[in-house]
Structure 1
Amino acid sequence: MNKIQAVLFDLDGTLIDSEYFYFKNWAPILKQEFNLQINYEDWIRDFAGHTLAHNVKRLTEDYGYDVTEEHMWKRTRAAYADSNMSDIELMPGAREILAFLKAEDIRIGLVTSSYRSTVDTVLGKHELLDYFEFFVTRECVELPKPNPEPYRLALTNLGLPADRCVAIEDTSTGSTSALGAGTQLIAVTKQEVERARLTAVDNIVENLSEAKDLLAQWI
């Protein structure tokens, strides 16, 4: 294995503990709009880790509801604003893994399906923005994860071979994107439904501390 020179992090569910935040904002909307009741396990299985467009498509095609992406954008953004996205906490070990990589002179990028405003709000609140060389956000690409485009753009920004870069992801959606671009990959999740989907991933750990220990072997 070649020594790695860069690590590319996903955001939601990987560096920040945001999935429950999204669930608690989406669940009341789904109940009010469609009388659709979901629990957190439903959210993780069917909606977590996907773009708004994907989730609206699921509502229209799989559930048969008449709803547009524009409508759900307005409803969810209003809910997020009322809930104060800046309250989202870091995943355990997030600050430590970033500090470790910086100390080792490993380049760091962010590759997320979230918008830059979310990145600035949450990582800014935790004073972590300066750890990142660049941000590939939803605005930067035409085709989001699971398409490889976000990670291919990140590799272009780095100017490095894909096998010198490691992606850190928590879902099969993001993992498919990273593997499609040819990067090495560590999947970080305790969710059994996600672990069962990650059949193409060789390195699956439960937390960022374990991911840091694995990276230490590759540097």
Structure 2
Amino acid sequence: MYEAIIFDFDGTIIDTEIHLFNTINKHIKERNEQPIHIDEYKASIGSVSKELDDKILHSLGSEQALKEMFSDHYEGTKQLPVKPVVKTLVDYCVENNIKMGIATSSYKAHIMPNVQRLSLDEHIHVIKGREDVSSVKPDPELYIQAAQDLNVEASKCLAIEDTTNGAKAAIDAGMDVIVITHEITEDLNFDVLKILNKDIDAQEIIERYL
């Protein structure tokens, strides 16, 4: 039995990824520049890519324009609901005293407004973000630190992810992983990763694994 569940945030707890992709291209198109291709975005999803970041900055033309684009994105995410599978799992963990954490490649300051809006801060015991580690996913450090702070062995943690980069990070940290995909990640190749399961509903997760 698992003693903790550690969730990715973007795309896993709320479906921010398609929103960010669309917001980036909305701002780029407003400047009559070539939009980012979906395959470029998918290649770095769940991690960071200096090459892609530089390309977006170049297309937007300035740091100020980049800041405005992200502000638009973060404001838009405040309307996004928690994904049903996550809500059910969080409720189950609360009822059964299973510890919970978040391990995200984003900066914590960028996700905390939504964590608080959804009242997840009342139940999540540990949040690890980009500022806490030297390398983000697919490096396992975020998950290793989250498990340590939860005081739970990695092998007794179940990770919930939506990307190949995130799944690899959790696996390399020594955790079992269930992947719940979405519009951006549903066609990524997870076959090369030894994940526990993929795209199953919360009730099946609870009955089979918790």
Scaled by the length of structure 2, the TM-score of the pair is 0.83
Where in structure 2 are the equivalents of 1:125-144 lying within 5 Å?
Answer: 125-144=117-136
Number of residue pairs the alignment of both structures matches: 204
> Which residue number in structure 1 is paired with residue 35 of structure 2?
37
Q: Which deviates the most, 90-99 or 175-184?
A: 90-99
* Letter in structure 1 aligned against 2:70: Y
Any stretches of 5+ residues in structure 1 without a counterpart?
A: none
Task: Work out the percentage of aligned pairs sharing the same amino acid.
Answer: 24
2:51 paired residue among 57, 68, 90: 57
1:82 equivalent to 2:72? Answer yes
Paired residue secondary structure (2:138): coil
C-alpha distance in structure 1 between counterparts of 2:32 and 2:43, whole Å:
16
Kindly tell me: are residues 59 and 127 of structure 1, through their superposed partners in 2, closer, same or farther at Cα, counting changes over 3 Å?
Answer: closer
Q: Residue 40 of structure 2 contacts residue 52 of structure 2 at CA under 8 Å; is this kept in 1? A: no
For residues 169-216 of structure 1, the C-alpha deviation after alignment (integer angstroms, 9 at most, x for no partner) is 00001011101110111111154422x234213333325xx2442244
Kindly tell me: are residues 59 and 86 of structure 1, through their superposed partners in 2, closer, same or farther at Cα, counting changes over 3 Å?
Answer: closer
Q: Residue 126 of structure 2 contacts residue 150 of structure 2 at CA under 8 Å; is this kept in 1? A: no
Q: Residue 159 of structure 2 contacts residue 176 of structure 2 at CA under 8 Å; is this kept in 1? A: yes
> Which residue number in structure 1 is paired with residue 10 of structure 2?
12
* Letter in structure 1 aligned against 2:187: V
> Which residue number in structure 1 is paired with residue 204 of structure 2?
213
Q: Residue 6 of structure 1 contacts residue 107 of structure 1 at CA under 8 Å; is this kept in 2? A: yes
Shift of 1:37: 2.3
Q: Residue 100 of structure 2 contacts residue 125 of structure 2 at CA under 8 Å; is this kept in 1? A: yes
Any stretches of 5+ residues in structure 2 without a counterpart?
A: none
Scaled by the length of structure 1, the TM-score of the pair is 0.80
Shift of 1:31: 4.0
Q: Residue 47 of structure 2 contacts residue 136 of structure 2 at CA under 8 Å; is this kept in 1? A: no
> Which residue number in structure 2 is paired with residue 99 of structure 1?
91
